[in-house]
Structure 1
Amino acid sequence: MPDDASPTGPATLFTRLKVTPADELVFVAKLALLAVLTSGGVILALQQNLWAAALGIVVLAAMFTHAVELQHQCLHHSAFRRALPHRLIGVPLGIPLFVVYSHYRVRHLQHHRFLGTPQDTEFFGFDTRGPLTPRALLRGLLDYPRLGAVAKDVVRAATGRWSYEFGHVAPAMRRRIVTEHVLLGAAVAGLAGLALLGHGEYVLRLWALPLLLAVPLHFLVELPEHLLCDTETTDVLRNTRSIRGSWLSTWFTNGNNLHIEHHAAMTVPINRLGERHAETRSFAVHVERSYAGFYRVLWQALRSRPTEP
């Protein structure tokens, strides 16, 4: 939809904005808070008291998930005024959850371009266009096979056999993707080395167990974006969902709750999307007040689906 929308449609929802110095500071503050909370999670996870350690593992899982949401802003180049810092920051943000920055960027930008068409290539595996069944949701919730698929890509990258399966990718971008897969492989190899040297408990508490929790947690964050929306239209006011949410859910998802606003103008700094939510409530089809509200809608949809033979 053009920026000069008619008086009967959104006036500012599709308007682009450039990143300002103030927007940069907001994102840097988010990175600083991530570092503080992650450090707190590490301290707790290493405690001898099992309850404290369990809390630390949960905090780390939440931070792995939150880091990927911050990475999402980096891949849209809407966090900094220059391009370079986005990759420098974005690459390490995804390593704990096995998300390779440049690969995610290519796939995700295709998702934005082709949303509502058969060419949609969302990066994470759950296909909201498929049949909605408890089995499909459980498979998405426990998508540990994705980790194995990434591990195979690491091997392919390290041996010069990696290729992009969803169309053409420029040689320079391919080199970036291959390099970042190798970096991920080196990080995992380093952790495996620490375990072999007798530090396996540290690896278990600070990475392996948080990773197991982060996989379903990230799925629950991503699921509302397009599920139960009109998947056969390119109209973002009908094929995407926004959730008003609280300050906590908005922070934790890094504004991913305002997903209509994001798809309408994907390069707008995330911290500015709230300014557009009033128009979203006026013109969009799928808007929920909270994540709990969305999951109630999902539960009702599951209950009312036709009985499987």
Structure 2
Amino acid sequence: MVSDAGSGAPRILFQRAKVGAADERAFIAKLAVAFTVWLAGALLTLVPEAWPARVAGVILMGCMYAHWVELQHQCLHHSAFRAARPHRLVGVPLGVPMLVSYSHYRVRHLQHHRYLGTDQDSEFFGFDTRQPVTWGALLRECFAFDRIGAAAVDIFRSWKGSWRYDTGQIAHARRREVIAEYRMFTLPILAAVVLTALGHGDLVLWLWLLPLLVATPVHFLVELPEHIMCDNASTDVLLNTRSITGSWFSTWFTNGNNLHIEHHAAMVVPINRLRERHGTTLQVAKHTAHSYPEFYRAVMREARMNGRAARLRKTGTDA
């Protein structure tokens, strides 16, 4: 559970704020930009004689699929619209390309917020930040395409009637919503199969499958800074979470995920309003970085150090 006990944090970090009309317009603008960039990528992939353009299109679309999940993340916190209902209506389709169930993600993610720093913490995208940072762990999680397979299993179990929430309790209504969403994922999968059978498999390849190869590692890199190399045994958000100042571009692309301390301190605050709290975070938080390159360099140093220590231990054991 988020705690400011003993941290001496200014109350501004923990103040709630309701979604206003301006916040709603800001989120709708984000949706419009995200779809426009995706459409530009899709058009680039349809230029068969220009391979550089097609590759650029795949990269753009893959990045947007990862970006859409970050927009979905804001929806599941109900901090995008003034009314509750639009959050699921918008959040569900945002997760379709990466087969991320809005309701399943929401239950797991809110549990993550509640139990961060305890043994009950269980994030939906499961890089265990308590494990040692090694090249093997980073590469395995960066290219964890088996998550798509896990979603396929959830789809199968939803149709079979055997889907169960495996991380604590879940309300019956939420379980129905999760099952309905996984069943709904059958539609784009069947559409892909039909298009392929009709001789249009190249569309499926270029508009969905190849961008997924980009989206998976990109999404991992967006999520990685949140809690890795922080004080994961603490329930104090100023110790167990990281914020990155970042540029306007990284703040847009990650949908404010760089301002993660601010988000965990007050998770219902519209993400576009977290920046005004960042100066306070820099004064009182333990884990901050100026930029994403600075953070990734720190991760690589940690992986090198842990690799060197492991080799020394192995050498000592062999001796």
Q: TM-score range by the shorter chain?
A: over 0.9
Does 2:35 match 1:32?
no
Supply the distance in 2 between the matched residues of 1:279 and 1:28 (Cα, whole angstroms): 28
Supply the distance in 2 between the matched residues of 1:175 and 1:167 (Cα, whole angstroms): 16
Does 2:201 match 1:192?
no
Contact 1:237-1:285 at 8 Å conserved across structures:
yes
Amino acid at match of 2:33: L
Supply the distance in 2 between the matched residues of 1:81 and 1:101 (Cα, whole angstroms): 18
Correspondence list, 1:252-271, <5 A: 252-271=253-272
Supply the distance in 2 between the matched residues of 1:191 and 1:109 (Cα, whole angstroms): 32
Offset at 1:157? Answer: 0.3
Provide the alpha-carbon RMSD of the alignment: 1.5
Contact 2:3-2:236 at 8 Å conserved across structures:
no
In 2 relative to 1, CA 37–7 (structure 1 residues): closer, same or farther, beyond 3 Å? closer
Correspondence list, 1:52-201, <5 A: 52-201=53-202
Task: Provide the residue aligned with 1:225 in structure 2.
Answer: 226
For residues 28-79 of structure 1, the C-alpha deviation after alignment (integer angstroms, 9 at most, x for no partner) is 0000111111110110011121110000000000100110000000000000
Supply the distance in 1 between the matched residues of 2:123 and 2:60 (Cα, whole angstroms): 27
For residues 181-224 of structure 1, the C-alpha deviation after alignment (integer angstroms, 9 at most, x for no partner) is 01112211211111111100000000000001110110001001
Offset at 1:114? Answer: 0.4
Secondary structure of 1:74's match? helix
Contact 1:24-1:79 at 8 Å conserved across structures:
yes
Amino acid at match of 1:279: T
In 2 relative to 1, CA 299–38 (structure 1 residues): closer, same or farther, beyond 3 Å? same
Supply the distance in 1 between the matched residues of 2:213 and 2:35 (Cα, whole angstroms): 20
Supply the distance in 2 between the matched residues of 1:7 and 1:179 (Cα, whole angstroms): 42
Amino acid at match of 2:39: S
In 2 relative to 1, CA 288–171 (structure 1 residues): closer, same or farther, beyond 3 Å? same
In 2 relative to 1, CA 7–254 (structure 1 residues): closer, same or farther, beyond 3 Å? closer
Amino acid at match of 1:33: V
Q: Which runs of 4+ in 1 moved over 6 A?
A: none
Offset at 1:10? Answer: 1.4
Amino acid at match of 1:150: A
Secondary structure of 2:185's match? helix
Supply the distance in 1 between the matched residues of 2:122 and 2:228 (Cα, whole angstroms): 15
In 2 relative to 1, CA 8–140 (structure 1 residues): closer, same or farther, beyond 3 Å? closer
Does 2:13 match 1:13?
yes
Offset at 1:167? Answer: 1.3
Contact 2:95-2:102 at 8 Å conserved across structures:
yes
TM-score under structure 1 length normalisation: 0.97
Amino acid at match of 1:59: L
Offset at 1:7? Answer: 11
Supply the distance in 2 between the matched residues of 1:98 and 1:271 (Cα, whole angstroms): 26
Offset at 1:307? Answer: 2.2
| Stretches of structure 2 lacking an aligned partner (at least 5 in a row) | 315-319
Contact 1:2-1:14 at 8 Å conserved across structures:
no
Does 2:214 match 1:213?
yes
Supply the distance in 2 between the matched residues of 1:161 and 1:6 (Cα, whole angstroms): 45
Offset at 1:18? Answer: 0.3
For residues 128-150 of structure 1, the C-alpha deviation after alignment (integer angstroms, 9 at most, x for no partner) is 11122111111101101111011
Supply the distance in 2 between the matched residues of 1:180 and 1:44 (Cα, whole angstroms): 30
| Stretches of structure 1 lacking an aligned partner (at least 5 in a row) | none
Offset at 1:11? Answer: 3.1
Supply the distance in 1 between the matched residues of 2:175 and 2:147 (Cα, whole angstroms): 20
Amino acid at match of 1:246: S
Secondary structure of 1:208's match? helix
Secondary structure of 1:129's match? coil
In 2 relative to 1, CA 7–155 (structure 1 residues): closer, same or farther, beyond 3 Å? closer
